[in-house]
Amino acid sequence: MIFRQMFDAESSTYTYLLADEKSGEAALIDSVQEQAERDAKVLKELGLTLKYLLETHVHADHITGVTRLKTQFAEAKSVVSAQGGAPCADHLAQDGDLFQLGELEIRVLATPGHTNGCISYQVGDRVFTGDALLIRGCGRTDFQEGSASQLYDSVTQKLFTLPDQTQVYPGHNYIGLTSSTIGEEKQHNPRLGGGKSKAEFVDIMDNLKLAQPAKIMEAVPANLKCGNLSEVSPA
Ligand code: FE2
């Protein structure tokens, strides 16, 4: 498998490139509009065919690269959760959906809570968790129909039931960490690990007192249109 973890410094977002070596079929998870040229160049240099543009959720902190990448890779299909409120996507994903890149299989796990339309993607012994599970943290739950109670269930009943050695690749990291494992997060995640109860978790999430993401008013409407800025009506 070809695998790249790429980074957008402005939003601290990770974009992942996955590809099947034999067939050359590729997917990007959580592309960022400003990095579309970078991603396109890598795909072309490696001789890959972009088959899927997968989103873990409708982001509030950056605009997706989907529309921009589709101008160069017309065959690529965009994927957003059916609960994400973005009917512009080519495929509205449900829990258990499977996508194929040659012999590589990508499985959708519904992991709502950070937003109601959050999904994770499992590929072999890796899981791409978006903002449901971060390294020693998790996404906030105070907008976009977020729910701490739902996020607790998604992480403890779904992600934490994957094998301990599963590699966790999150949607963001703000201090330079790149990956973790399910076993590590079960033990060391300060919000969800070490057997924290749902009540303890909800209490932590209710008291974060975070400022709104700088780009939320711009990013959410744009992402609900799959990053097609010409379709976003001026506020
Ligand atoms: Fe997010």
pLDDT in tens, 20-68: 999 999 999 999 999 999 999 999 999 999 999 999 999 999 999 999 9
Q: Following DSSP, what letter does each residue of 77-137 receive, concatenated?
A: EEEEETTSS-TTSSEEE-TT-EEEETTEEEEEEE--SSSTT-EEEEETTEEEEETTSBTTB
- Tell me the CA–centroid distance for residue 131 and ligand 1, in Å: 5
Percent of the chain with pLDDT over 70: 99
Kindly state the helix (H) or strand (E) to which residue 27 belongs, with its residue range. Answer: strand 25-29
Residue 99 Cα to ligand 1 midpoint, Å, equals: 22
Residue 234 pLDDT > 70: no
What is the distance between the alpha carbons of residues 169 and 122, in angstroms, rounded to a whole number?
10
The Å distance, Cα 201 to ligand 1 centre, comes to 18
- In the reported structure, the alpha carbon of residue 196 is separated from the centroid of ligand 1 by a whole-number distance in angstroms of 23
pLDDT of res. 233: 73
* pLDDT range class, residue 147, cuts 50, 70, 90: very high
Architecture of the CATH domain 2-208? 4-Layer Sandwich (3.60)
Q: Is the predicted pLDDT of residue 72 greater than 80, yes or no?
A: yes
The mean per-residue pLDDT over the stretch 70-79 comes to 97
Q: State mean pLDDT over 157-168.
A: 98
> What's the gap in Å between 117 CA and the centre of ligand 1?
10
pTM: predicted TM-score of the whole model, two decimal places: 0.97
Give the Cα separation of 144 and 181 in Å (integer). 27
Closest by alpha carbon to 72, among 102, 37, 30?
Answer: 37
Token pair of 43, please?
């795909």
Rounded to whole angstroms, the Cα distance separating 30 from 45 reads 20
> 220-233: per-residue pLDDT in tens?
999 999 999 999 97
